[in-house]
Amino acid sequence: MKKILLTYFSVLLFFSTSSATDCSNGRYFNPIFPKVKRTNNIKYGAKRQSDGAMFDLKYDVYEPLGDTVSERPVMLLIHGGAYLKLLDQNSPDIVLMSTYFAQRGYVAVSIDYRQEPNLLGLLSEEIMVKAVARALIDTKDAVDHIVNTYSNGNPYRIDTSKAFIGGVSAGAVSTLFIMYLDSLQQLPVKYQTWVKETIGPAADSILRTKFDHVKPKAGISVSGALLDTSWIVNNGMDLLLNHGSADDIVPYLYGHPFNIQTLPVLYGGKSLYPRAVNQGIHVEFEDWAGRGHVPFMNLTFPDMIFNLINQPILDSTERHIRDFCYRLLDCNSKTTGIRQNLMQEHLAVFPNPSNGNFNIELPKNIMTTKWELRMYDLMGKEVLSKEYAGNAGYISLNENLPMGNYFITMQYRKDAENFVYTGKLVITQ
């Protein structure tokens, strides 16, 4: 499994303000820290499981090794596992994602939470509702514990004003519930009773005050769902949805999880997206046609054993999350003061792979007199810099480059702003 995940290289620097984040040298966008420091099994509590046994609640912290910045954005990630005791904070996808963001300068936190020890619990509506309730309160306690470290010396050097929360599968369900469940009254009456039995009489107060210590800037849901689309209101948090259209575990549109009729109907990414748009939320939807549950995982045999992670899809997912969060960091340049805009459209590069003789198709309908080309190797070293006239449809290059992966940026300037397009190229001999 790859330890270094490929990403498009582009330095995104924004106009300086006194409160802006310094993202110079590609910080929060490029993997500028090759090594990551991981602190494991930080205990944030101990609680009883549904079977009465005590369970130690822990999280792992990933930090960029050698970083000197005093406060860094924090990315809280929640693993999946259907709320059954199948996975923990060491879930391979969460480890990869935590490493990815730590390499870019974030502090990533992977949390564990109580899950149902009896796998047959999946057949019971009451057991699963209570399992979700336990996971929600555990997640809130983990957040409170992390914030408490900020108030007591801030050993992980986090910036609580730049917090993000996200999850995969059950972790994505928890993310969405945390974002949009604000009161017990939003739940059916019998669910209210079950939640009170699980959390206690203070359950409603906890939901109403969940963001008293820190409120995320955005939530990220990979194969998540909600009990009711009407819960989604514009509460100041942005939303990124990622879902596969062939998901038969967590419904892509709506339905029963696992097609188990005793479980409640949930509404997946395809249903949540138009509601979020309607509410005026900044929402983006990465819609994976034909992919199943957790698009970047291969969950059928034999791939599940030998090739669990679909690397290209994971790369795409991580890039999307990276770009989505970057725009919320209020980055600034201390050197140029020129605003740079990353364009969603990617450059068409062909043939690709190439032996060094290749073409780049320029974006259409752009009125400019000059394009600037930059190419970088995987470590961020600039290997090529050229300028081209702005009236060309495409440019042709024939370069003697070593074998490997390269990042390409094409940019033009208009009204003191740079507009940047990105692409990638593989050189073979």
Instruction: Indicate if the pLDDT at residue 17 is higher than 50.
Output: no
> pLDDT digit string (tens) for 118-167?
989 889 999 999 999 999 999 999 999 999 999 899 999 999 999 999 99
Query: Which has the closest alpha carbon to 319: 242, 394, 248?
Result: 242
Per-residue confidence at 423, pLDDT binned at 50, 70, 90? Answer: confident
Domain for residue 12, yes or no?
no
Residue, of 370 and 220, whose pLDDT is higher: 220
Domain end among 271, 300, 332: 332
What is the model's pLDDT at position 254? 95
Q: Based on the fold, state whether residues 56 and 170 are members of the same structural domain.
A: yes
Please report how many Cα atoms fall inside a 13 Å half-sphere around the Cα of residue 419, on the Cβ side: 16
Number of residues assigned to the chain: 429
Instruction: Indicate if the pLDDT at residue 228 is higher than 70.
Output: yes
Q: Based on the fold, state whether residues 400 and 266 are members of the same structural domain.
A: no
Cα dist from 269 to 11, 124, 256, whole Å: 31, 24, 14
Q: Based on the fold, state whether residues 325 and 406 are members of the same structural domain.
A: no
> pLDDT digit string (tens) for 244-292?
999 999 999 999 999 999 999 999 999 999 999 999 999 999 999 999 9
Q: Based on the fold, state whether residues 380 and 282 are members of the same structural domain.
A: no
Sign of the CA dihedral with 361 first, then 363, 369, and 373 last: negative
Domain for residue 287, yes or no?
yes
Q: Based on the fold, state whether residues 135 and 283 are members of the same structural domain.
A: yes
Q: Based on the fold, state whether residues 359 and 248 are members of the same structural domain.
A: no
Q: Based on the fold, state whether residues 402 and 276 are members of the same structural domain.
A: no
- Provide the number of structural domains found in the chain: 2
Q: Based on the fold, state whether residues 354 and 401 are members of the same structural domain.
A: yes
Residue with tokens 């999307």: 320
> pLDDT digit string (tens) for 67-126?
999 999 999 999 999 999 999 999 999 999 999 999 999 999 999 999 999 989 889 999
> pTM of the predicted model, to two decimals?
0.73
Domain end among 332, 360, 381: 332
Domain for residue 8, yes or no?
no
Mean pLDDT, all residues of the chain: 88
Q: Based on the fold, state whether residues 349 and 259 are members of the same structural domain.
A: no
What is the model's pLDDT at position 2? 36
* DSSP for 330-366, written as a single string: -EE-SS---EEEE-SSPPEEESSSBSSEEEEEPPTT-
Weakest-pLDDT range from 200-209, 239-248, 341-350: 341-350
Domain for residue 10, yes or no?
no
* Residue span of the structural domain in which 41 resides: 21-332
What is the model's pLDDT at position 26? 82
Weakest-pLDDT range from 13-17, 282-286, 341-345: 13-17
Q: Based on the fold, state whether residues 348 and 423 are members of the same structural domain.
A: yes
Q: Based on the fold, state whether residues 355 and 303 are members of the same structural domain.
A: no
Q: Based on the fold, state whether residues 349 and 284 are members of the same structural domain.
A: no
Let me know: does 64 contact 28? Beta carbons within 8 Å: no
To the nearest whole percent, how much of the chain has pLDDT over 90? Answer: 66
Residue, of 312 and 40, whose pLDDT is higher: 40
402: domain CATH number is 2.60.40.10
272: domain CATH number is 3.40.50.1820
Domain end among 305, 332, 359: 332
Instruction: Indicate if the pLDDT at residue 206 is higher than 70.
Output: yes
Residues 177 and 199: their CA atoms lie apart, in Å, by: 15
